Structure 1
Amino acid sequence: MQLLEIDKTRYRKHLNIVIAACIAALVIGSLGIARVLIVAFPDPDGSHFHWNLTGVVLTCVMIAAVLKRVQHHPFMYEVNYVWQLKQALNKVTRKMAKVKKAAQQGDVDAMLAMQFSYSGSRQLWQLDDNTLTMEELGIWQAELDALTNQYQVTLDITRYDASLLDKF
């Protein structure tokens, strides 16, 4: 995955619309489905928990199917990009202990994975206005910069590919 420039205002606007639409669909869909099931299959005890749960589950499945279908629509470009970025960063994070150990030993691929993680996290946190951890990220970046100087490595983030993580 390559890091791309994203318009923060457009991203936030579209994300808010997607979230609001999902919430509305969940409420309307789950209540509607549950109501139809309760009318069709009444319970003499008056407990309709299983029908309510069925309505929520079916609505969630339908929302997921719709989101999957429209994920490549231009309206969803920024939202989909951030979703993919989060997945890519999660892959690196799960292997970060091994990646950091390999970077300490001079592994260029490990350093590149760390650079991608730090650059991607910086972008993600700026898009989400999560500035609380930026100082900590700066410390991690300085440690990585020290390693690149120590091993005389130049990192080109455009060379990053998730398959680099396979060896860790």
Structure 2
Amino acid sequence: MVFTLEQHDSSKYRRKARMISIAMAGQLVIFGMLFSMLLTSTFGNSLWFYALGIVLGLLATSALFAVLRERPWMAEMRYVWQLRQHLSQISGFLPTLRGAVEEDNRAALDIVTFYHAGVAQLATLNGRTPPEDAAWLAEAKYLAEKREALGLPARVERFDSQDLQAFKRS
């Protein structure tokens, strides 16, 4: 699956994320209370019926969220979820990828460069500053120098998860 970095307004994303989080929490509370009330009024008071009502509320909220997540107004949220998923997938291979970068493996160089760009974008979308520790900045500088020496473009905007398959066997 090919994933491409997109530009999104960070304040708009954070506002939507807050609204959606509050709405989902509210739905969970309402559904949990509703199911608990229905179960206890039908079968009598029991801690297990209260707990079952909360679990049913969680399931109902999850089902509603699964239906709504494909709506156009959820585009920013979907994008960030996919970005996090891909960054998480890459982070599991970072030691192997960094070793391959040392050997001038262009696929590994592209993946690690994409990882740096993705982490920086995710931090910006969440209202934080991109990583500024010495090791992170040194690696970013090293990657930029290596890309320049190999005649590769400075940025990588696309990531294909199939590219990681070569590093699974390593």
1:33 pairs with one of 30, 35, 56: 35
Aligned to 2:132: 135
The residue number in structure 2 matching 1:19 is: 21
Give, as a single letter, the amino acid of the residue that structure 2 aligns with 1:165: L
1:54 aligns to what?
52
What does 1:1-168 correspond to in 2, within 5 Å? 1-43=3-45, 47-48=46-47, 50-131=48-129, 134-136=131-133, 137-149=136-148, 152-155=150-153, 157-168=156-167
Aligned length: 162
> What SS does the corresponding residue of 1:134 show, helix, strand or coil?
coil
Unaligned runs of 5+ in 1: none
Give the TM-score of the pair, scaled to structure 1: 0.87
Match of 1:59, as an amino acid?
Answer: G
In 2, are the aligned partners of 1:89 and 1:120 still within 8 Å (CA)? yes
Q: Give deviations 1:7-37, integer Å, cap 9, x for gaps.
A: 1121111111100101101111111111211
Where has structure 1 moved over 6 Å in runs of 4 or more? none
Cα deviation for residue 96 of structure 1 reads 1.0
Shift in alpha-carbon separation, 1:27–1:159, aligned structure 2, 3 A: closer
Corresponding residue SS for 1:160 = strand
**1: distance between equivalents of 2:57 and 2:142?**
47
State the alpha-carbon separation in 2 of the partners of residues 41 and 159 from structure 1.
Answer: 55
1:46-72 deviation line (CA, Å, top 9, x unaligned)? x41x22322222222222222221222
Kept in 2: contact 1:103–1:110 (CA 8 A): yes
Aligned residues: percent identity?
Answer: 24
- Give a deviation string over 1:87-146, Cα, whole Å, max 9, x none: 111110111111111111111111111111110110000111222x52134333112223
Residue identity opposite 1:154 in structure 2: L
Q: Counterpart of 2:80 in structure 1: which amino acid?
A: V
Superposition deviation, residue 159 in structure 1: 4.7
Q: Which amino acid aligns with 2:146?
A: L
Distance 1:52 1:104, change over 3 A: farther
Gaps of 5+ in 2: none
SS for the counterpart of 2:128 is coil
Tell me how large the CA RMSD over aligned residues is. 1.8
TM-score by length of 2: 0.86
Q: Distance in 1 between matches of 2:112 and 2:102?
A: 11
CA shift at 1:153, angstroms?
Answer: 4.4
The DSSP-based 3-state class of the residue aligned with 2:117 is: helix
Q: Greater shift after overlay, 70-79 or 53-62? A: 53-62
SS in 2 for 1:126: helix
In structure 2, the CA distance between the partners of 1:38 and 1:159, relative to structure 1 (3 Å rule), is closer
- For structure 1, which segment, 118-127 or 93-102, has the greater mean C-alpha deviation from structure 2 after superposition? 93-102
- The CA deviation at 1:148 is 2.6
